[in-house]
Every structure is written in C-alpha cells, then in structure tokens.
C-alpha cells in the first residue's frame, strides 16, 4: 500500500531530484571526512594545499607510469626528498633531522628540500622547467614573477601538481599536465643520479 502511494505521489523528476540531493549529501559527508583525515597527517602537507575537492585527477590517465608514480609521490609526501627522508635515522646519524635541518644538498641553497623547493625553486632543475614555463606564459602566467612570493609559489604548486589550468582550453590544460609529468620524471631521475654519486664518495 505504501509503495503504491509513493508511486502515485512522486513524479519521475521528483525521484531524480531526490536522488541528486541524497548523493550530494553523501558526497559532502565523504569530502568532509576526507579533509579531516588529511589534516591529521603531516605527510600530506603538500596534498592539503593542492587538492581541495574529492575528484579524480586527470594526470592518472597518463600512459607514462614512472611520471605518474613520481607525481603521486610528490603530491602525497612519500618521496625521496629530504623533507621526508630526514624523518628517519640513517647509518651515519642516530637521530631524525629537524625540519629546518633537511636542507637541499643538490643546489646547496640552504633551503629546505620539500616538494615546493623541488618543483618550483631548486636551480638544479631550471632547464627542465622551460617547457611547462612556456605553457604557463601562453596563459598569461609568468613563472619567474609568481615564484617571488609565497602566495605565488602556492599558486604554481596548485597549477602544476594540483588543479591545473582551470578555465583554460582543454588543449592548454593537457599540455601543462604533460609537461609537468615530464618534469617530475626527469628531475627526480637527475636527482637520483646526483645522490648516487654523493653516496659513492662517502
């Protein structure tokens, strides 16, 4: 009787609207739980700044497995940079490094080697940034100017590792994504080669 009454009272459009509201409420709840979880994990320091909504990331469609893995590890804080490896004691030291001690040994600038330094600042990879810088330039974004301020660096990180070129045409967005993936793979490969040489000298 109740089912028959419901069918008589609800139109098809009302059913669709109800379903949309239910799914929206579920998604909002899941997104809130996801954000709360992120705030509890210090490893997700970069992830919190570049991902604001619980949506599928287009870079995961790339066929370049190594590039995908490198970007994922940079986004998630599970990479080879000193901001991460400094957490753990290694053979030539018996304590973890404080954050301010985890400086970049690649460019020797004295800056902490975190994901922002690796992607935006480290001079050792400047030549590898040229292609994605050109894409940004065509969209009216001057890389050199942006990285002069903390707000600009945050914006660059969101563009390169996060939301990408929102509002731009699909071709430009896809091009930036492609060049950023290439940078991540190439720069990490270069870094590993340097670290290997440094280890061999010890």
Place of tokens 């030291």: 93
Helix (H, G, I), strand (E, B) or coil at 112: strand
Q: Which residue has the higher pLDDT, 10 or 54?
A: 10
**Confidence (pLDDT) at 93:** 64
pLDDT of residue 153: 94
pLDDT attached to residue 189:
96
Number of neighbouring beta carbons within 10 Å of residue 141: 18
CB 132 within 8 A of CB 180: yes
Angle, CA 182 vertex, CA 184 and CA 120 arms, to 5°: 45
Under the banding of pLDDT at 50, 70 and 90, the label for residue 95 is confident
Rounded Cα gap, residues 52 and 196, in angstroms: 36
Lowest mean pLDDT among 53-57, 62-66, 123-127, 182-186: 53-57
* Domain chopping of the chain, boundaries: 59-201
Q: Which residue has the higher pLDDT, 128 or 21?
A: 128
* The token pair that represents 78 in the structure block: 């599970």
Region of poorest pLDDT, from 2-16, 44-58, 68-82, 84-98: 2-16
- Residues 143 and 74 sit within 8 Å (Cβ to Cβ): no
Helix axes 150-161, 65-76, angle to 10 degrees: 140
Collect all residues with Cβ–Cβ distance below 8 Å to 191 and sequence separation of at least 6: 80, 106, 118, 124
Handedness of CA 90, 94, 96, 97 (dihedral sign): negative
Give per-residue pLDDT as tens, 173-182.
999 999 999 9
Instruction: Name the token pair of 143.
Output: 């890389």
- Among 148-157, 161-170, 188-197, where is mean pLDDT lowest? 161-170
Distances in Å between the alpha carbon of 92 and those of 84, 89, 192? Answer: 17, 8, 19
Which residues in 62-148 belong to E strands, given as ranges?
A: none
pLDDT band at 31 (very low <50, low <70, confident <90, very high): low
- Taking residue 77's Cβ as centre, other Cβ atoms within 10 Å add up to 19
């Amino acid at each position: 009787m109740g089912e028959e009454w419901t069918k008589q009272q609800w139109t098809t459009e009302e059913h669709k609207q109800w379903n949309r509201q239910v799914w929206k409420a579920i998604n909002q709840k899941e997104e809130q739980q996801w954000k709360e979880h992120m705030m509890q994990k210090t490893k997700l320091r970069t992830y919190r700044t570049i991902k604001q909504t619980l949506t599928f990331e287009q870079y995961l469609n790339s066929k370049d497995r190594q590039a995908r893995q490198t970007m994922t590890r940079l986004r998630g804080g599970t990479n080879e940079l000193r901001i991460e490896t400094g957490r753990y004691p290694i053979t030539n030291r018996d304590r973890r490094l404080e954050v301010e001690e985890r400086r970049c040994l690649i460019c020797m600038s004295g800056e902490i080697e975190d994901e922002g330094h690796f992607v935006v600042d480290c001079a050792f990879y400047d030549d590898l940034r040229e292609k994605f810088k050109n894409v940004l330039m065509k969209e009216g974004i001057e890389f050199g100017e942006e990285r002069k301020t903390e707000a600009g660096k945050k914006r660059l990180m969101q563009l390169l590792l996060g939301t990408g070129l929102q509002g731009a045409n699909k071709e430009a967005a896809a091009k930036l994504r492609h060049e950023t993936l290439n940078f991540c793979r190439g720069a990490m490969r270069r870094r590993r080669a340097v670290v290997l040489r440094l280890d061999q000298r010890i």
